Amino acid sequence: MPRFKTEPERKRKPPALRTLDRVLSKAGLGSRTEARRWIAQRRVAVDGRIVSDPETWVDPARARVLLDGRPVHRAEPVYLLLNKPRGYLTTYDDPAGRKTVYDLLPAGQGYLFPAGRLDLDTSGLLVMTNDAAFAERLTNPDHEVAKTYLVKASMRLTDAQLGRLRRGIPLSDGPTRPARVERLRETGGRTVFEITLTEGRNRQVRRMVEALDAKVLKLVRVAIGPVTLAGLAIGRHRPITLEERRQLAGRRRRISAS
């Protein structure tokens, strides 16, 4: 008796293939949202045939993909380090018209995406790239790339509270990994400290501090691995050097709770 494929089986990703919208995005032409719009407008052809389904599987190394009749080629890899100001969204487009990190990037750069995100009220280091494998190395917690933050809490934190941060805090999505925490100073009854994490959950630092019955008044990501903010003004960007890329792509040691 013939066996019909189920819907999950039909959607399963074949080896080495990518969805058409991702192929266009990774070529540096625009976001996946834009790519889906172009495909729906029947502006994209694969091997001489107009394709209207953005989830069509494509082999980027073999297929001839055209946008408006022009061949789509994979863009040269770009690696930028941006010092994100507070008040900017880490998103390509905002329906409310708020400022985004793309307003700070040079024109004609091609489409880049952030390797990890910083929320609206968080400033500091953000890697922008079109290299998906490099971005995955930075964001996948299995690779343990350390991210260091400067934090100003709404109250004076005791040594015991900072110790809880070091050991790990139970959150709604599970306990956090051990962190490196250093008290820097006390100012106006508030503690300023530095914390280094090897995971990057949504609003993680803020939620960890809130678990101590405090609030985060200021949050700045000051380092990713060995790469720091030094010499990079707020709102400015610079290329990531080859040596820095090698350091960032290397595996990091897990932080001890001690």
119 is a catalytic site residue: yes
Give the sheet arrangement for strand 44-46, strand by strand.
Answer: 49-50, 44-46, 65-67, 70-71
Question: Three-class SS of residue 68?
Answer: coil
Please give the Cα distance from 219 to 149 (Å, whole number).
7
Q: Count Cβ atoms below 10 Å from residue 120 Cβ, excluding itself.
A: 13
Angle at 202 between CA 256 and CA 246, to 5 degrees: 60
Residues 6+ apart with CB under 8 A from 242: none
CA-closest candidate to residue 200, choices 125, 133, 92, 94: 125
Distance CA 232, CA 80 (A): 12
**Active-site residue identified among 47, 68, 119, 131:** 119
Q: From the centroid of its chain, how far is CA 207?
A: 18
Report, as residue numbers or ranges, the catalytic residues.
119
